[in-house]
Chain A
Amino acid sequence: MVTIQPVTAAATSHPTPPAGFLLDVIEQVGRAPRHALVAVPLPPGHGHDVEPAVETLRRWCERTGNELVSSSGNVAQVRCGRRRDPLADLAPDLVPGTRLWMYTNFDCNLACDYCCVRSSPQTARAALGADRVRQLANEAVRAGVSELILTGGEPFLLHDIADLVGSCTDALPTTLLTNGMLFKGRRLEALRQMDRARLTLQISLDSPTAETHDAHRGQGSWDRAVAGIATAKAEGFRVKVAATLPYELTHVVGPFHAFLETLGIPLGDRVIRALAHRGVAEQGVELTVETLIPEVTVTSTGVYWHPVGAEHADQLVTRDIFPLQDAISQVRTQFSAYRADADAAAQWFPCA
């Protein structure tokens, strides 16, 4: 049977289109598959004004559980039924706000030639700071975040990195991204203070031999990263290894996996990702807010769409870091809107 929502709206007086208009709409939308977009011709009224028809259509959609998507010229787009929440179609671990990324700082002991946030020894620190990290960690628990991820820059350049990490691991399981090159002296002592049960270290390593890694990250960096992996494992930490590769090489990783096997890194702890055309990278995968599933990312300057764009204005969501729940809600709302636009475009521009 035709599905009808209960009548709730009150009558208002306004110009109305020809009565047959709504009968045509009901027949047209009633034949369409749920979630399909239907192009509804709008009959012009006095002075070719289609606004009365649009208003009638809007009120009809509200009452009957359909959605007026847009109107332009003499045509309106109506979605049959309300669109599905795009968030409901995501795997649970991909829902924005499941993880919270925090850029602890932007300065780095390296100057990788593909760094997506232009970090280097000359880059300003732009530290998030211990107080904000602590507040974010606490608010993250209330906001339903299940994992915290700290990145930079190189977080181990911070003198208070152990405190920062401690306030995170006290709240939630945490992953700390590092180049693994600084595990000596006071920084090694800082590492030893961290909670091995709640912290995972993710160390960057791009290749099974020094040549490729060093070409992008600096002479001698591969040896020190490999040594850092060994140190971290010897200290009892879970270690993940992350490689950044040109897209065309992301499937040529057999030797790399074999090498990681010798380091004792299990398959599930190996992250291989394509180089993004962001920051100082001259090439790479183009990533936009419309195409990226967001990973809520906080820096000292605001909340960003994704860590790969954390110093790019196009990925800034809000300057207001707190309350965190509001920022997460904003990201989710924006994501739903982008998906709706993409779905609409996909339906309206078939090529064959």
Chain B
Amino acid sequence: MPSPLLVGAVAYTPNVVLIWEGMRDYFADTDAPMDFVLFSNYGRQVDALIAGTIDIAWNTNLAWVRTVGQTNGECRALAMRDTDTVFQTVMVAPAGSGLSGLESLRGRRLALGSQDSAQAAILPVHYLREAGLGTDDVELLRINSDVGKHGDTGRSELDALRAVLDERADAAAIGINTWEAIGREELMPGAFEAFWTSPTYSHCNFTVLPHLAPERSDPWLKALLAMDWENPSHREVLEMEGLRRWVPPELDGYESLFAAVKDQGLSTRW
């Protein structure tokens, strides 16, 4: 039996422990056993991947972009969640606000989530710029909670929504997952409405460096892709991690974030 592959993940809720213990238990029954290490932020995790402390990093899209940057593109992505291939940013405003499209934000206040959240800060600014809207055109209210976790906790997005309710902002940029979490426009009718939704983009992936030989990563990847939603013991882990099945990575879905990071001159850490 080969030595376990070491997977890194960021601990953004207590349930991350349950998720990775479940993954470890699943892989223990395969020919590609694994263990895991939890980090307090993605910066530390990417450092550990590059230093060879871990074999595989469960990275956000921003962590992927930074790993690509720090390895001159030599890293590779093994897989992602089905939900990672169709991630979106949603612009929401009070119901009946009359906002429609990004252009309607001109002269208004937009609440953003954590500065290191691709979905709630980096990409929204990118989309605004693509629409010809700079910081002189839209006043940005940045809510930097949980920096380091790349928006995983969702807290800054909830705070952005609170800012709209408190009339400190006219609109908020949030991830599609947060929009789903509040029940879109259905659970709180009259509270929020979506007035713009971004194109889909890719979110998390399992990242490895070239020194992890395919003989080591292939059996692990094969076992990962074999996890089955219909198997109750697999489903509990899949539900917690927010997917129905693992899929091959869709790297084209990172192009917008690469462009945004370059355009905004973002720091290589957090």
A262 within 8 A of B: no
Jot down 7 A-B pairs with beta carbons below 8 A, ordered by A.
A1-B60, A23-B158, A26-B181, A27-B154, A27-B158, A33-B18, A34-B14
Which residues from A are CB-within-8-Å of B191? 16, 19
The verdict on A64 contacting B181 (CB below 8 Å), with A30-B154, A34-B15 known, is yes
Contact present for B186 and A23 (CB under 8 Å) = no
Contact present for B189 and A11 (CB under 8 Å) = yes
Please name 14 further chain A to chain B contacts, defined as beta carbons within 8 Å, in addition to the given A3-B177, A88-B232, sorted by A numbering: A1-B60, A1-B203, A2-B152, A3-B241, A4-B180, A7-B184, A20-B165, A23-B165, A27-B154, A30-B153, A32-B14, A33-B14, A59-B183, A64-B180
Contact present for A23 and B155 (CB under 8 Å) = no
B180's nearest neighbour on chain A, judged by CB, is A4
The verdict on A19 contacting B188 (CB below 8 Å), with A1-B242, A33-B18 known, is yes
Report Cα–Cα, A10/B152, bound state, in Å.
28
Contact present for A23 and B13 (CB under 8 Å) = no
Contact present for B13 and A22 (CB under 8 Å) = no
Smallest Cβ distance from A273 to chain B, in angstroms?
33
Contact present for B13 and A63 (CB under 8 Å) = no
B239 within 8 A of A: yes
A31 within 8 A of B: yes
Contact present for A23 and B177 (CB under 8 Å) = no
Report Cα–Cα, A1/B14, bound state, in Å.
12
Residues 182-226 of B, flagged 1 when their CB comes within 8 A of A and 0 if not, give 111111111110000000000110000000000000000000000
Report Cα–Cα, A34/B19, bound state, in Å.
10
Report Cα–Cα, A19/B166, bound state, in Å.
11
A13 within 8 A of B: yes
Q: Which residues on A are within 8 Å of B, measured CB to CB? A: 1-7, 9-11, 13, 16, 19-20, 22-23, 26-27, 30-34, 56, 59-60, 63-65, 80-81, 88
Smallest Cβ distance from B123 to chain A, in angstroms?
15
Which residues from A are CB-within-8-Å of B60? 1
Smallest Cβ distance from A64 to chain B, in angstroms?
6
Which residues from B are CB-within-8-Å of A63? 183, 187
Contact present for B165 and A19 (CB under 8 Å) = yes
Which residues from A are CB-within-8-Å of B185? 11
Q: Which residues on B are within 8 Å of A, measured CB to CB? A: 13-15, 18, 60, 152-155, 158, 161-162, 165, 177-178, 180-192, 203-204, 232, 239-242
Smallest Cβ distance from A24 to chain B, in angstroms?
8
Contact present for B177 and A4 (CB under 8 Å) = yes
Closest 3 A-B residue pairs measured CB to CB?
A19-B191, A3-B242, A11-B186
A17's nearest neighbour on chain B, judged by CB, is B188
Contact present for A3 and B186 (CB under 8 Å) = no
Contact present for B165 and A34 (CB under 8 Å) = no
Which residues from A are CB-within-8-Å of B165? 19-20, 23
Report Cα–Cα, A22/B179, bound state, in Å.
12
Contact present for A16 and B188 (CB under 8 Å) = yes
The verdict on A16 contacting B178 (CB below 8 Å), with A3-B241, A26-B154, A60-B183 known, is no
Smallest Cβ distance from A58 to chain B, in angstroms?
10
A55's nearest neighbour on chain B, judged by CB, is B187
Contact present for B242 and A2 (CB under 8 Å) = yes
Contact present for A30 and B13 (CB under 8 Å) = yes
Which residues from B are CB-within-8-Å of A80? 15
Smallest Cβ distance from A347 to chain B, in angstroms?
15
Contact present for A1 and B162 (CB under 8 Å) = no
Contact present for A34 and B158 (CB under 8 Å) = no
Which residues from A are CB-within-8-Å of B154? 2, 26-27, 30
Contact present for A65 and B239 (CB under 8 Å) = yes
> Which single member of B15, B161, B178, B181 contacts A33 (CB below 8 Å)?
B15
Report Cα–Cα, A341/B241, bound state, in Å.
27
Which residues from A are CB-within-8-Å of B190? 16, 19
Which residues from B are CB-within-8-Å of A33? 14-15, 18
Report Cα–Cα, A305/B245, bound state, in Å.
41
Smallest Cβ distance from A286 to chain B, in angstroms?
35
Smallest Cβ distance from B112 to chain A, in angstroms?
16
Report Cα–Cα, A81/B22, bound state, in Å.
15
Report Cα–Cα, A160/B177, bound state, in Å.
67
Residue in B177, B188, B192, B242 whose Cβ sees the most chain A Cβ within 10 Å: B188
Which residues from B are CB-within-8-Å of A9? 183, 186
Contact present for B177 and A34 (CB under 8 Å) = no
Report Cα–Cα, A11/B184, bound state, in Å.
10
Smallest Cβ distance from B118 to chain A, in angstroms?
11
Report Cα–Cα, A242/B172, bound state, in Å.
70
Which residues from A are CB-within-8-Å of B240? 3, 34, 81
B242's nearest neighbour on chain A, judged by CB, is A3
Contact present for B189 and A16 (CB under 8 Å) = yes
Contact present for A59 and B187 (CB under 8 Å) = yes
> Which single member of B161, B186, B239, B242 contacts A7 (CB below 8 Å)?
B186
A13's nearest neighbour on chain B, judged by CB, is B189
Contact present for A1 and B204 (CB under 8 Å) = yes
Contact present for A26 and B182 (CB under 8 Å) = yes
Smallest Cβ distance from A234 to chain B, in angstroms?
47
Report Cα–Cα, A64/B188, bound state, in Å.
15
A82's nearest neighbour on chain B, judged by CB, is B239
> Which single member of B178, B184, B187, B204 contacts A2 (CB below 8 Å)?
B178
Report Cα–Cα, A6/B239, bound state, in Å.
11
Contact present for A2 and B181 (CB under 8 Å) = yes
Smallest Cβ distance from B177 to chain A, in angstroms?
5
Smallest Cβ distance from B224 to chain A, in angstroms?
17
